[in-house]
Chain A
Amino acid sequence: MTDMVEAREAAEVDEAIIRFAGDSGDGMQLTGDRFTNASALFGNDLSTLPEYPAEIRAPAGTLAGVSAFQVHISNHDITTPGDAPDVLVAMNPAALRSDLHTLVPGGTLIVNRDTFDERNLAKAGYDHNPLDGDDLAGYSVIEVAMTSITKDACKDLGVKPRDADRSKNFFALGLLSWMYSRPVEPTMDWIDAKFAGKDLVIGANKAAFNAGHAYGETAELGAQRVIVHAAPLSPGTYTNINGNTALSWGLVAASQLSGLPLYLGSYPITPATDILHELSKHKAFGVTTFQAEDEIAAVGAAIGASYGGSLAVTTTSGPGLALKGEAIGLAVSLELPLVVVNIQRGGPSTGLPTKTEAADLMMAMYGRHGESPMPVVAARTPSDCFDIAIEASRIALTYNTPVLLLSDGYLANGSEPWLLPDVEDLEPISVSHATEFNQTNEDGDGVFWPYLRDENLVRPIALPGTPDLMHRIGGIEKEDGSGNVSYDPDNHELMVHLRDQRIASIPVPDLRIEGDEDADLLVVGWGSTWGAITGAVRRIRTSGRKVASVHLTHLYPLPANLGDVLRSFERVLVPELNLGQLVRILRAEYLVDAEPLSKMKGQPFTAGEIQHAIGERLAELEGGRS
């Protein structure tokens, strides 16, 4: 990076956590995103946590309208967006009031002084101005008149003051870019590309950015200037990726690997909609996207496309999954491949549409009537969403079954650097369809039996259009083999067992224990808790204490060695963003005294929270021995 600012002026730190907070209309997500991208291109490891309200524009200046973006940058491998920010940028009083508690004691607070007027203070619920007096005594406060400086900077460009006001987030970005010695060029290039054709907007945003940058240099903020050097990541090509994009690309990859066209049936729902947006762009890959009239039609159309021979996917979030239950049961009965993606959010009902939670595990496992088993897999990081989408597709197409893929709002919108895989190394997905008779009838004629299973209990699929193999399938119970409608009691019991065994016997890789195999405490995770658990386990071990962890990518079927692993530890702790859903499964399946650690705040665990919980239990274990 040629424009890497003179590093010798800046203090070197290993990592930094920055939180941008402002009104929904202040462009905080964009600001955070740009800071993140500049840091990614600079070579830091990073992890992000966007948090925004469900309303597109809650009343301006209110607590309900606060939108925040937290980014953790480091010179080493990190797994979470950080426990508490070192720097909080508060663009208005509401942002200060709602997010100040997140700031680390003694942290740096940067506020836009211009917004701290009587009206905005009242909207935020302040009866006085916190910038006056001792409210912020425990922090290093930098008050900047961001709005007026931005307006001044834009004055000569012919930008109206009201329009210039909209560029103040670029002032904040410029200031933070100076403070953290971020390269300037990527942001300038991005402004040029994003606002191409709108010269006034380009001019205003660049002027605001430069004013912020210059403010840092000239306002004697030298003491605050730091640099976080690049992290020693494995060699290769990287991109900064969020979970929903990675998941979309994973589905495209699965289509290429299987040779089947990709079909997405979907209905808009936060936080899954970005997958529909992303896949709609990829017609060059032969991707068909269908925005259906409702969630049920979305999964129904996907089942129809699967029956026709496509790699069929439906994407949704919790409320949508509830609506799709009956149709997924049909796919279980028809034994058709289908990938059902659930980007979990806070519930029940509408719940917290834009906030994360992982409380749909029970619904994924059991949310259909009857004995209706299907494989369940879960992504652990944003970039892992790519691999998990391929894995879900592979299971669906290999075993002719619907597969539930669980992600969540945190993974969907959070981002991290991703070492791009070599596409030549991705394993092809083998798909074969029946083209010949597989049975003889009483008259000695060849016939096709759609439920004549192979050694893995997988039924053959003959696509419509295949000559001579015409047959009918449906949701009514079918006779084993012929697939004809059957109400025979013994046949039903047999079919229930066959469906159960077929899914239960899908091979799943064994778990690998991370950390100390001889520790007394095992931490078990699934889904997006991986980052916080891994961070916590590293800290505990760095402090010289012993702890181990395992992570479940496959939630059904579970890895064959899970029972032995669980039983080889004295205590088992299971952090989950629910009230203990995996715990119930572990206790029921393995009769182990696994203990839940719950968080239901619409936010991911921090590593610190899990570190604390581990520490408590280790202390108890040690106390028990003494």
Chain B
Amino acid sequence: MTDVLDPGTELDPDPVPETTRADWSSDQEVRWCPGCGDYSILTAMQLLMPELGVRREKTVFISGIGCAARFPYYMNTYGVHTIHGRAPAVATGLAMARPDLDVWVIGGDGDMLSIGGNHLIHALRRNVNLNILLFNNQIYGLTKGQFSPTSQKGKVTKSSPVGLVSRPFNPISVALGAEATFVARTHDMDRRHMQEMFRRAYEHEGSSFVEVLQNCNVFNDGVFATITKKDVREDMLIDLQHGKPILFGSEKQFGVARRPEGVVIVEVAEVGIEYILVHDETIRNPSTAFSLSRLAKTPSTPTPVGVFRAIDSGEFSTSVAAQIREVQAQLGRGDLATLLRSQPTWEV
């Protein structure tokens, strides 16, 4: 009989070594299409990791299936490329078994909002300590160009040759609907913004959800260009900053104001700066954040990026582990011989 090990509890005696991007890059050839937005996301991550001051061996990337899901192969960390849609489930088990690890979940819009939608919303609902990055390119890339659950109505694809008849999911709205405790949006054209969002996701205790608007230059090229290209960004991206009035435009001439029907875009000069909504990512009620997520229905109107919501709430894995510790503190460690005699017994 040996004592049951608790693999997550040993202490790190040594300081975290200094690392560079090279230390976080695996020896595998990156096999995304040339020009894919995934390259810039990978670069952002590999450059961010040395700054976070974490250990490679304590970092795990878990993915499902799709172009985005190849991500773990390129990070010199631990990693599992699982099956379609199930990455949040596998990652939940790992996070519960090993609270000492930083677990990142990578997937695309088909992976996490279609086949794996159930796992995503439940991981967010439970608030498992996972950093979930959803690379949204509004298309199925690896299967070569079918509409996805985020494709716009009317979209012509190989599986919707005369236009898509269903309406899309808004990933931020879905995450907020599940009352995710950390919800953010960024895009593949702005490395610094991506890194800031990934850092915030890493620092958040609980499930962090980051939608990364990502260009698929082969099957859906330029779908976000109307909002993410450098020359339109000032007018088309609404940069959410905690504690600051929500303003955008080259002269900060536009803003977001609250109306009875929800938040709307206004001209600051018309309503006055005092009517502009001051962004507060810490409001527990997700309604305002949800309303912000509804500002842009398609990538053709001004679209908020940044942190929509970041609240403290009980993290799942630590709560589960705490229950076990409490029971063990009350009853002591279980004894097998006693367990076998816990029902009525008799002697022969």
A330: nearest chain-B partner, CB-CB: B83
Given contacts A236-B347, A474-B73, contact A282 B339 (CB under 8 A): yes
The smallest beta-carbon distance between A519 and chain B, in angstroms, is 33
Given contacts A238-B348, A296-B86, A307-B94, contact A261 B336 (CB under 8 A): no
The answer to whether A484 and B28 touch across the interface, beta carbons within 8 angstroms, is: yes
Residues of chain B within 8 A of A262, CB atoms compared: 4
The answer to whether A252 and B81 touch across the interface, beta carbons within 8 angstroms, is: no
Q: How far is the CA of A310 from the CA of B348 in the complex (A)?
A: 38
A287: nearest chain-B partner, CB-CB: B324
**Does any Cβ of A come within 8 Å of B344's Cβ?**
yes
Residues of chain A within 8 A of B67, CB atoms compared: none
Give chain B's interface secondary structure class.
Answer: mixed
Q: Mark A388-432, 1 if CB is under 8 A from B, else 0.
A: 000000000000000000000000000000011101101010000
B63: nearest chain-A partner, CB-CB: A474
The smallest beta-carbon distance between A242 and chain B, in angstroms, is 10
Q: How far is the CA of A463 from the CA of B89 in the complex (A)?
A: 19
A261: nearest chain-B partner, CB-CB: B4
The answer to whether B333 and A285 touch across the interface, beta carbons within 8 angstroms, is: yes
**Does any Cβ of B come within 8 Å of A233's Cβ?**
yes
**Does any Cβ of A come within 8 Å of B295's Cβ?**
no
Partner of B79, one of A240, A327, A469, A473: A473
Given contacts A283-B327, A297-B92, A464-B57, contact A259 B118 (CB under 8 A): no
Q: Mark B94-133, 1 if CB is under 8 A from A, else 0.
A: 1111101100000000000000001100100000000000
Given contacts A239-B341, A239-B345, A300-B86, contact A305 B4 (CB under 8 A): no
The answer to whether A238 and B346 touch across the interface, beta carbons within 8 angstroms, is: yes
Q: Mark A418-460, 1 if CB is under 8 A from B, else 0.
A: 0111011010100000000000000000000000000000000
The answer to whether A308 and B97 touch across the interface, beta carbons within 8 angstroms, is: yes
The answer to whether B90 and A255 touch across the interface, beta carbons within 8 angstroms, is: no
Partner of B96, one of A233, A301, A468: A301
The smallest beta-carbon distance between A75 and chain B, in angstroms, is 13
**Does any Cβ of B come within 8 Å of A472's Cβ?**
yes
The answer to whether B5 and A476 touch across the interface, beta carbons within 8 angstroms, is: no
A41: nearest chain-B partner, CB-CB: B346
**Does any Cβ of B come within 8 Å of A263's Cβ?**
yes
Residues of chain A within 8 A of B321, CB atoms compared: 288
A333: nearest chain-B partner, CB-CB: B83
The smallest beta-carbon distance between A608 and chain B, in angstroms, is 29
Partner of A285, one of B82, B334, B347: B334
Q: How far is the CA of A256 from the CA of B348 in the complex (A)?
A: 27
The answer to whether B339 and A263 touch across the interface, beta carbons within 8 angstroms, is: no
The answer to whether A301 and B92 touch across the interface, beta carbons within 8 angstroms, is: yes
Residues of chain B within 8 A of A466, CB atoms compared: 57
The answer to whether B341 and A420 touch across the interface, beta carbons within 8 angstroms, is: yes
Residues of chain B within 8 A of A287, CB atoms compared: 324
Partner of A423, one of B56, B336, B346: B336
**Does any Cβ of A come within 8 Å of B215's Cβ?**
no
**Does any Cβ of A come within 8 Å of B332's Cβ?**
yes
The answer to whether A302 and B334 touch across the interface, beta carbons within 8 angstroms, is: no
**Does any Cβ of A come within 8 Å of B143's Cβ?**
no
The answer to whether A304 and B93 touch across the interface, beta carbons within 8 angstroms, is: yes
The answer to whether B80 and A307 touch across the interface, beta carbons within 8 angstroms, is: yes
The answer to whether A304 and B94 touch across the interface, beta carbons within 8 angstroms, is: yes
B320: nearest chain-A partner, CB-CB: A288
The answer to whether B4 and A473 touch across the interface, beta carbons within 8 angstroms, is: no
The smallest beta-carbon distance between A250 and chain B, in angstroms, is 10
Residues of chain A within 8 A of B76, CB atoms compared: 470
Q: How far is the CA of A475 from the CA of B336 in the complex (A)?
A: 37
Given contacts A37-B344, A300-B86, A465-B57, contact A293 B122 (CB under 8 A): yes
The answer to whether B90 and A240 touch across the interface, beta carbons within 8 angstroms, is: no
Given contacts A288-B324, A474-B82, contact A236 B89 (CB under 8 A): no
The smallest beta-carbon distance between B171 and chain A, in angstroms, is 18
The answer to whether B3 and A259 touch across the interface, beta carbons within 8 angstroms, is: yes
**Does any Cβ of B come within 8 Å of A349's Cβ?**
no
Given contacts A259-B3, A334-B80, contact A300 B89 (CB under 8 A): yes
Partner of B60, one of A37, A282, A464: A464
Residues of chain A within 8 A of B62, CB atoms compared: 304
Partner of B336, one of A235, A253, A307: A253
**Does any Cβ of A come within 8 Å of B287's Cβ?**
no
Partner of A256, one of B4, B72, B82, B347: B4
**Does any Cβ of B come within 8 Å of A531's Cβ?**
no
Residues of chain A within 8 A of B86, CB atoms compared: 296-297, 300, 327
The answer to whether B341 and A304 touch across the interface, beta carbons within 8 angstroms, is: no
A303: nearest chain-B partner, CB-CB: B90
Given contacts A249-B340, A256-B336, A261-B4, contact A305 B93 (CB under 8 A): yes
A285: nearest chain-B partner, CB-CB: B334
The answer to whether B3 and A284 touch across the interface, beta carbons within 8 angstroms, is: no
Given contacts A260-B5, A293-B118, A423-B1, contact A312 B343 (CB under 8 A): no
**Does any Cβ of B come within 8 Å of A176's Cβ?**
no
Interface residues of A in 208-240 (CB under 8 A from B): 230, 233-240
The 21 listed contacts between A and B (C-beta, < 8 Å) are A40-B346, A186-B344, A236-B348, A239-B344, A261-B5, A261-B6, A263-B93, A284-B333, A284-B334, A285-B334, A286-B6, A286-B324, A293-B89, A304-B89, A304-B94, A305-B94, A312-B93, A467-B55, A471-B79, A472-B72, A472-B79
A-B pairs, 7 with minimum CB distance: A474-B81, A304-B93, A300-B89, A301-B93, A285-B334, A308-B97, A304-B94
B interface with A by C-beta (< 8 Å): 1-7, 26, 28, 55-58, 60, 62, 72-73, 75-83, 86, 89-98, 100-101, 118-119, 122, 320-321, 323-324, 327-328, 331-334, 336-337, 339-341, 343-348
